[in-house]
Amino acid sequence: MGRWSRAAAPVFLEWVAPPAGARWLEVGCGTGIFTEVVLDTCSPAAVSAVDPSEAQIAQARMRPAALRVDFRVADAQSLPFAEAAFDVVAAALVFNFVPDRPRALSEMRRVARSGGIVAGYVWDLAAELSPSGPLRLGMRRFGADVPDLPGAADSGLAALQALFERAGLERIATRTIEVTQSYADFDDFWQAQTPGYAPTTRMIAAMPVSERASLMEAVRAGLPVGPDGRIEYSARANAIRGRVPG
């Protein structure tokens, strides 16, 4: 989740205002970083967390949180839990990656108790306000083909509202979360923005050296660089919460 996601998670959780002593399920937990924020700030009675990637769950089980969390390999579209098993069901930066989002929300509602909380947030990908937004905009100015982001069209507040309404949730509320982060210099920014697993990184790596250097200069020219070389900008996440009827 990185520095951006770590900064957004506490704001999201404070807004959701879950009760202490709740039974939690995190859907799409990745390596368990958001899970650790839940443990540190929400005083849960029990936490389960699922992700479809065996490699991600293997990493999560190596973290200190594994002593207090039931990590499992499972798909958001078919959760391996009984009905009404949890007080809070949350998904952090996950909705856009799920192929069948209505089915996943139906599952999240199914495993939440009557009156329980279902909530989540996702970067505002449609507006290019994710942490990778400046890189992607710079690539477009350069004329590079920028890979589409999964689920970008459904990352706005209206789309999330419709998703939760379709799932039959009540007392739905939405908000935006603004997160500002800084990088020591362009090299720090570039390294953070081009992790080895990203499709964009692989595309850039395939460029001729001279073309890649020109791209980097084009991206640099569009960044807010301070007098000391520090780069600072904001990203926006769209958050939503609702209650299971009853």
Domains delineated in the chain: 2-130+149-182+233-243 (3.40.50.150)
153 and 126 in contact (C-beta within 8 Å)?
yes
The pLDDT tens digits for 63-75 are 999 999 999 999 9
For the residues 226-238, what does the mean pLDDT come to?
96
Residue 183 pLDDT grade (very low, low, confident, very high; cuts 50, 70, 90): very high
- Chain mean pLDDT for the chain: 95
- The DSSP code for 145 is P
Q: What is the mean pLDDT of residues 205-226?
A: 92
Residue 80: the pLDDT is 97
Confidence of residue 234 (pLDDT cuts 50, 70, 90): very high
Question: What pLDDT shows up at residue 98?
Answer: 96
pLDDT of residue 145: 84
% of the chain with per-residue pLDDT over 70? 100
Residue 172 is predicted with a pLDDT of 98
- pLDDT higher than 70, residue 1: no
How far apart (Å, rounded) are the C-alpha atoms in residues 56 and 6?
Answer: 17
DSSP lists the bridge partners of residue 175 as 239
| Residue whose C-alpha is closest to residue 244's, from 121, 86, 35, 21 | 86
Mean pLDDT of 166-195: 96
- With cut-offs at 50, 70 and 90, classify the pLDDT of residue 198: confident
Decide: 58 and 33 in contact? Cβ < 8 Å: no
Per-residue b or e along 34-68, where b marks 16 or more CB atoms closer than 10 Å to that residue's CB: bbbbbbeebebeebbbbbeeeebbebbeeeebbee
Residue 76: Cβ-neighbour burial (10 angstroms; 0-12, 13-18, 19+): buried
- Report the pLDDT value the prediction gives residue 148, as an integer from 0 to 100: 86
Cα(181)–Cα(194) distance, rounded to whole angstroms? 16
Say which range, 109-118, 147-156, 180-189, has the weakest mean pLDDT: 147-156
Report whether pLDDT(118) > 60.
yes
Determine the average pLDDT of the residues in 178-205. 91
Residue 129, classed as helix, strand or coil, is coil
Cα of 207 vs its chain's centroid, Å? 29
